[in-house]
């Protein structure tokens, strides 16, 4: 959402899909005129990169050729040296703008144009202005923020584009442990990629049998989807 002009950005697919299915999904998105920008990449688990990495260049080029603004996302949690190296390589070698989703990527991107993802906590206007002064051109605010906070933050950082999480399961938490693998009887180190068995996440019910949460590898998501279609006039008024 830039100024009073509403634009639609498609965020990274949070789930583990087969690489060819992942590629074909984005090829179809390239033909969707109502999507303005697409952020690609693996934000949940670095082990999943094996499936999508061979197709990222072709997908990004196809989207760019279709007129989409393309960006590549960093991971939301960096816990291993291998993941730190992947983050450094992404920042140094990406031909596309990079979206920072944790503070390690944020430090590497300082001084160059970049985006801020929803996993970096931006809870006030002062933080938004600080990030913009370090090179952030677009900031995705966390889905837990009420409209009053969104309005205040947007108003406090003129000249910066802002995004809100408008549709989908909400990202609630991310952990160094993998509850998804544990639920299937595996450890994280020997997960056997069981999250691929649940391409829309693994439902978690309460003891009363009510749908409550969704497991997605090391990520916990809401079970229901947030939909802000009815809030578009208010968001536009917020700027």
Give the closest residue to 171 by CA, choosing from 122, 124, 217, 107.
217
The reported pTM is 0.92
Number of structural domains found in the chain: 1
Give the Cα separation of 35 and 228 in Å (integer).
16
Spell out the residues 6+ positions from residue 224 whose beta carbon is closer than 8 angstroms to its own. 169, 211
- For residue 32, tell me if it sits in a domain: yes
151 within domain boundaries: yes
Classify 205 as helix, strand or coil: strand
Residue range 105-144, pLDDT digits in tens: 998 999 999 999 999 999 999 999 999 999 999 999 999 9
* CATH value at residue 139: 3.20.20.120
Domain extent, residue 137, equals: 9-165+226-238
In a domain, 131, yes or no: yes
Identify the band that residue 4 occupies on the pLDDT scale cut at 50, 70 and 90: low
Q: Is residue 70 part of a domain?
A: yes
Tens-place pLDDT, residues 15-50? 999 999 999 999 999 998 899 999 999 999 999 999
């Amino acid at each position: 959402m830039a100024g009073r002009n509403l634009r639609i950005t498609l965020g990274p697919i949070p789930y583990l899909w087969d690489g060819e299915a992942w590629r074909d999904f984005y090829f179809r998105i390239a033909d969707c005129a109502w999507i303005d920008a697409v952020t690609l990449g693996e934000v949940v688990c670095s082990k999943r990169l094996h499936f999508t990495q061979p197709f990222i260049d072709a997908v990004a080029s196809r989207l760019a050729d279709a007129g989409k603004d393309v960006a590549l996302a960093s991971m939301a949690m960096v816990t291993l040296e291998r993941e730190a190296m992947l983050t450094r390589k992404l920042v140094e070698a990406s031909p596309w703008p990079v979206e920072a989703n944790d503070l390690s990527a944020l430090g590497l991107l300082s001084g160059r144009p970049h985006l801020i993802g929803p996993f970096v906590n931006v809870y006030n206007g002062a933080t938004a202005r600080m990030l913009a002064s370090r090179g952030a051109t677009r900031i995705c605010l966390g889905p837990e923020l009420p409209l009053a906070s969104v309005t205040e933050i947007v108003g406090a950082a003129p000249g910066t584009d802002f995004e809100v999480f408008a549709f989908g399961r909400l990202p609630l938490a991310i952990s160094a442990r993998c509850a998804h693998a544990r639920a299937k009887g595996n450890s994280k180190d020997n997960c056997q990629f069981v999250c691929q068995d649940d391409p829309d996440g693994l439902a978690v019910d309460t003891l009363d049998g009510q749908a409550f949460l969704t497991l997605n590898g090391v990520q916990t998501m809401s079970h229901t989807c947030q939909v802000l279609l009815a809030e578009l006039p208010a968001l536009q008024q917020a700027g």
